[in-house]
Structure 1
Amino acid sequence: MELEKKIRQFFWDSPKSSPIAAEYLSDPLTSGGRKLLNLKARNKAIELMKLKSYLNFGPDRPRWALLADDILRKNVNENELIYHHDILVNPFVQNWPVLSSKLPDTLKRMVSAAETAGLLLDGLEINHEVKMEMTIWFHPAITAKHLWNSKWMNCLKWKHKIYTNSTQAVGAADVEHACQRKRMDAPPQWTAGRQQWSY
């Protein structure tokens, strides 16, 4: 990094390489360091705080996070998910991969920071109300991808509009019906002239 190079040259008053590694110079004075700014650690902290803001799903969620949601959905890294953008909520709370190479730099750094930090969804810390509002589609606890395109799953998605655990529980008693198999084989088609979905 160019800025790190300039800091090193300024500190040692020399364009040559420093005799002591930068990470040691960043240590506190009490440990023998010089409290030199650690740019890598600072930039990592910035990205993690940005990730924290992005994962705030409360009423004070930043507006840029909504735009980030849409960008991440459009860069899903699975061809079979192309017809499921409406049920893709968030790659960090669902099990779908993002094609990072096509993301804007700011989101690319955020996704990389999440991977480096080992971000995961810890179910032990999620209360019942939040669990019930989690989407059932691409749930992180389910890894069998073929389930999402099965006839039964397509029926739940497109005909019964079941998206979360709570709607699944409420609608469980209403899904016993005589659905035509051909209607469950594929997603509904959008009719532009009528501005509606046809089933």
Structure 2
Amino acid sequence: MVQWTIGGMSQYLAKVQGMPQNIELALEKLTRAFIWTDTLHPPISLDQLYKDRPHRGISLLDICSQNEAIELTWLHEYLDISPSRPTWAFVVDILINQLAPDGIPNQTRLNTFLQKWDIPTCSKRASTLPVYALSMLRMAKHYGVSFAPVQLSQGLKRQMPAFYHLGSPPQTYRVPRIACLIGTHMSTSQRVSGLIHMAK
């Protein structure tokens, strides 16, 4: 019954527009009241009831876990850099790139997950992001999401950002030649393939 009512009524809206924490807590309270009919001291915790039957639970809908899973599907779509990447992800790129640390030129900012710069998720600057984007980034930090392929093809290596590259040694971007590349040749060398072409 909980799955049909609370789950069915909230899942679509949570996927489309997210769910504020106060609504999440209210639904959890509603679930507890339904299961235990307002008992002050439930004999079994909700955490136990969330587990499946082999683990002595009843597979009760865990609204918090459901919402986390929905956030992760948003993150999965955002991290898709194939031609089928959704349009909203490019808009989020622009919003996130505006929060890059000072000193990183605007034209070098492509994607924080593919470059050596990070953005704050708990500051006044972070609060300028839309709630859904900030929540997605916090979820990524919570689960330690990072770009860590086992093996990259030559084609993918060439598509990586040319500047603030994940594989670059420390202090790489503090030498004058890098400033020249960024300031003069950035239009043709935003990715590794552009630098290779320019070097030829």
Cα deviation code 1:71-113 (max 9, x no counterpart): 101122x2222xx122111111111111223222101111111
Alpha-carbon RMSD across the aligned residues, in angstroms, is 1.8
Q: Is the 8 A contact 1:95 1:143 kept in 2?
A: no
* 2:92 counterpart (65, 68, 72): 68
User: Greater relative contact order: 1 or 2 (C-alpha under 8 angstroms, separation 6 or more)?
Assistant: 2
1:34 aligns with 2:58: yes
* Cα pair distance change 1:143/1:68, threshold 3 Å: farther
Write out aligned runs for 1:105-124 (5 A).
Answer: 105-124=131-150
* Cα pair distance change 1:158/1:20, threshold 3 Å: same
CA drift of 1:129 comes to 0.5
In 2, the alpha carbon distance for the partners of 1:96 and 1:117 equals 18
In 2, the alpha carbon distance for the partners of 1:64 and 1:147 equals 32
* 1:159 counterpart (181, 184, 187): 184
What letter is aligned with 1:75?
L
State the structure with more CA Rg.
Answer: 1
What letter is aligned with 1:119?
V
CA drift of 1:157 comes to 1.6
> Under a length normalisation based on structure 2, what TM-score does the superposition of the two structures give?
0.77
Question: Which residue is equivalent to 2:83?
Answer: 59
Question: Which residue is equivalent to 2:119?
Answer: 98
In 2, the alpha carbon distance for the partners of 1:16 and 1:33 equals 20
Length, aligned pairs only: 169
Secondary structure at 1:57 match in 2: coil
- Of stretches 41-50 and 30-39 in structure 1, the one that deviates more from structure 2 is 30-39
> Under a length normalisation based on structure 1, what TM-score does the superposition of the two structures give?
0.77
Question: Taking every aligned residue pair, what percent have the same amino acid on both sides?
Answer: 25
Question: Which residue is equivalent to 1:192?
Answer: none
In 2, the alpha carbon distance for the partners of 1:163 and 1:24 equals 51
**What runs of 5+ residues in structure 2 fail to find an aligned partner?**
1-24
* 2:158 counterpart (132, 139, 159): 132
Question: Which residue is equivalent to 1:46?
Answer: 70
In 2, the alpha carbon distance for the partners of 1:17 and 1:91 equals 47
In 1, the alpha carbon distance for the partners of 2:173 and 2:51 equals 50
CA drift of 1:16 comes to 2.4
Q: Is the 8 A contact 1:9 1:16 kept in 2?
A: no
CA drift of 1:43 comes to 1.1
**What runs of 5+ residues in structure 1 fail to find an aligned partner?**
174-199
CA drift of 1:143 comes to 5.7
